[in-house]
Amino acid sequence: MFQNLVFLKKVERQVIDPYGSSVLKPRFVSHPQERLELVLEASRLPSMMLNTSSAANVVMLGAGYFNPLEGFMGLTEALKCAEKMQTKNGLFWPIPIINVCKDISAIKSTSRIALLDPNTDDNRAIAIMEIENIELVTREQLNLMAKHIFSTTDLAHPGVSTFMSLGSYVVSGKLQVLNYSYYQSKFPETFQTASQIRDKIGVLGWQKVVAFQTRNPMHLAHEELCRMAMEREEADGVIVHMLLGKLKQGDIPAHVRDSCIRLVAERYFPRNKMLVSGYGFDMLYAGPREAILHAIVRQNMGASHLIVGRDHAGVGSYYGAFDAQEIFKNKQVRGALDIDIFCADHTAFSKKLGSVVMMSEAKDHDESDFLLISGTKLREMLANGIEPPAEFCRPEVASMLIKHYRS
């Protein structure tokens, strides 16, 4: 169950092709003069204020991570995508990329609008949209999509709760993206577009590239998992690609995670073997479906392998521990993606072996032979200023986390 899944690629290439096209087609308007003219145009256009979910989608479309999509899906396409994981053109896609809003009064009589950013103080225009359609979406249709995307309609699920509260209108159309919201200014060294990461991979001459998705600081087990994946796949390097957008209450803020991960990369990995980067998206907690989206995002940035671990993109008990790995065995999924999946079991420190191992690979072990600290227990320790054992977390990382919890 925990063996690596190997998907054969059709041809050998230096850097993996983007998903769905031979070249990356980000929706960001890169030409400075053209972008300036569009910014001026946006100031005169009718406008709509996006919610944070739609704004995150705009950033991902602009940065090339959602290649080859060109904008927001309409209702019919969104329903098809949720149910069959296909766009209107038959492209495999795991989660609808939609713009749902509550009020259309300012835009219903026009075809070209400015989309305003809810995450910046000045609410500046983040994109211009050519409206293809404005459609009423029913509660039943939202429930149907939520059931397929999240495998539940339980409003206690943070992703479902957000999705069901966005509004009653789906506004679709192609985008011209003008900026990346607050991500470039708040995370100037970390936020990177898919094109920028591809360029870096090219400069380093990497061919096999492992991506590690995270919304948490790096514990010792995460470090070892990255090393295991690099060694077993004979990869040239690993990219720790952290989510910089909104999380659920209780998760560690992005700037704290960034500092912790950079410390680990600089002190405990060889130079130019671990790159630290980030992307502007909100966590969906959609389990298996989100794991597929993570794979598409990493293929678009040039990674040849993605680590998918235990309870990847999960929350609570809504998904089985290895559901996000099992979905990559699906024929539809396997036939669509070029990126390979490195499947990992839970990693922990073995008291018998004196090292971090995958628990499923440790023979003659029972639970008492591992050092296991739950997330709840870890947060309690940090909040009380208690440093976790060195077998679990680097002391320097622990100090950063304790400082955060005390503040």
Residue 9 has pLDDT above 50, yes or no: no
Q: Please, where are the H alpha helices in 167-253?
A: 183-186, 194-204, 220-232
| Mean of pLDDT over the chain | 93
Query: What pLDDT does 379 receive?
Result: 78
pLDDT digits (tens, 9 = 90+) for 147-205: 999 999 999 999 999 999 999 999 999 999 999 999 999 999 999 999 999 999 999 99
pLDDT digits (tens, 9 = 90+) for 277-328: 999 999 999 999 999 999 999 999 999 999 999 999 999 999 999 999 999 9
Per-residue confidence band for 253, with pLDDT thresholds at 50, 70 and 90:
confident
Please list, in sequence order, all residues whose beta carbon lies within 8 angstroms of the beta carbon of residue 202, skipping any fewer than 6 positions away.
Answer: 14, 15
165, two tokens: 């509260």
pTM: 0.93
For the domain covering 32-182, report its CATH number.
3.10.400.10
Cβ(239)–Cβ(210) below 8 Å: yes
pLDDT digits (tens, 9 = 90+) for 21-48: 999 999 999 999 999 999 999 999 999 9
Please list, in sequence order, all residues whose beta carbon lies within 8 angstroms of the beta carbon of residue 32, skipping any fewer than 6 positions away.
Answer: none
Say which amino acid occupies 151.
Answer: S
Ordered DSSP codes for 220-273: HHHHHHHHHHHHHTT-SEEEEEEE-S---TTSPPHHHHHHHHHHHHHHHS-TTT
Burial of 31 (0-12, 13-18, 19+ CB in 10 A): exposed
Which has the closest alpha carbon to 72: 96, 89, 48, 88?
A: 96
Strands 71-72 and 169-177, bridge-based pairing: antiparallel
Query: What pLDDT does 1 receive?
Result: 34
Domain 185-406, CATH number (from 3.40.50.10320, 3.30.750.24, 3.40.50.620, 3.30.43.10): 3.40.50.620
What is the rounded CA–CA span in Å between residue 177 and residue 396? 39
Which positions are catalytic? 215-216
What is the rounded CA–CA span in Å between residue 217 and residue 214? 8
Domain coordinates of the chain in residue numbers?
32-182, 185-406
What is the rounded CA–CA span in Å between residue 252 and residue 315? 15
Say which amino acid occupies 305.
Answer: H
Residue 376 has pLDDT above 80, yes or no: no
| Residue pointed to by tokens 């998705």 | 213
Which has the closest alpha carbon to 95: 256, 273, 327, 274?
A: 327
Query: What pLDDT does 51 receive?
Result: 97
What is the rounded CA–CA span in Å between residue 387 and residue 385? 6
